[in-house]
């Protein structure tokens, strides 16, 4: 399995697949040898988790490698097809390729006729409107907004805060008022879960790795769940999965017949 992109999504997916093949599949499929599974994480830049400060990217890389993940940096993918991927000077055969390198910005330059940066993000004003149009806004991955001399990253935190800001601007316009406060992004930090009982947290006041970072990650995800029922359900499911080490895995081949599937279920109980 090849994952293209070493950001938080790629790192979390690689760690999940490593746990899945070594904890889940070994219980459900006695003829599969987990040690033969190859998981390769490719990153075009010099390190994974680009937005995290040192030494967190190095610690995450070491943990993934200890779980059997082949982490390769400075590897730019040039081609993806049904048989695998091509990187500069090498081809990797793989039936499963997962794209975790983000999305391409739509061609807004021609559509909106506005200035864009090198990758096509629209250069917005302080209120996130486009130049010359105070009622047209661009947010999230498609917006180029500088703060402290650096462009804001294309992450969910930025998009959510920009959405709230634009909502205030539009509400003021509808009420005949002016909300002229420029947008300011408050960085709450970055977190990524790398594997079982291991995460990295790059917070404004501290950098953490390991179990404590994992507990913080779990707490934040429970708190931000949208209702109490879901929070309770998530907590109990996590506790059960953690202590029982059970991860349900089911694979159905295209050649399996209903009789074969029923017979296999009897064999495995």
The dihedral through the CA atoms of 231, 234, 238, 240 has a sign that is positive
The residue to which tokens 């949208």 are assigned: 226
Mark whether 110 is an active-site residue: no
Cα gap 17→243, rounded to integer Å: 19
Catalytic residue among 12, 90, 150, 262: 12
Among all residues, which ones are annotated catalytic? Answer: 12
């Amino acid at each position: 399995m090849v994952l293209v992109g070493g950001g938080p999504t790629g790192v979390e997916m690689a760690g999940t697949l490593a746990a899945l093949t070594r904890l889940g599949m070994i219980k459900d499929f006695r003829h599969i040898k987990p040690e033969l599974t190859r998981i390769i994480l490719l990153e075009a830049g010099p390190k994974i988790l680009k937005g995290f400060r040192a030494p967190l990217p190095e610690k995450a890389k070491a943990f993934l490698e200890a779980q059997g993940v082949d982490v390769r940096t400075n590897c730019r993918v040039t081609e993806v097809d049904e048989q695998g991927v091509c990187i500069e000077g090498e081809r990797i055969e793989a039936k499963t390729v997962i794209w975790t390198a983000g999305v391409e910005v739509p061609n807004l330059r021609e559509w909106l006729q506005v200035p864009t940066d090198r990758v096509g993000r629209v250069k917005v004003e302080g209120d996130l409107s486009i130049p010359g149009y105070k009622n047209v806004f661009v947010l999230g991955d498609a917006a180029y907004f500088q703060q402290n001399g650096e462009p804001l990253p294309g992450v969910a935190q930025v998009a959510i805060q920009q959405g709230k800001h634009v909502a205030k601007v539009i509400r003021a316009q509808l009420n005949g008022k002016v909300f002229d406060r420029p947008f300011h992004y408050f960085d709450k930090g970055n977190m990524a879960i790398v594997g079982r009982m291991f995460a990295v947290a790059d917070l404004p006041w501290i950098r953490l790795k390991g179990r404590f970072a994992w507990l913080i990650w779990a707490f934040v995800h429970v708190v931000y769940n949208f209702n109490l029922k879901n929070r309770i359900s998530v907590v109990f499911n996590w506790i059960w999965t953690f202590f029982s080490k059970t991860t349900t895995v089911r694979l159905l081949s295209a050649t399996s017949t209903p009789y074969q599937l029923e017979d296999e279920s009897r064999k495995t109980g």
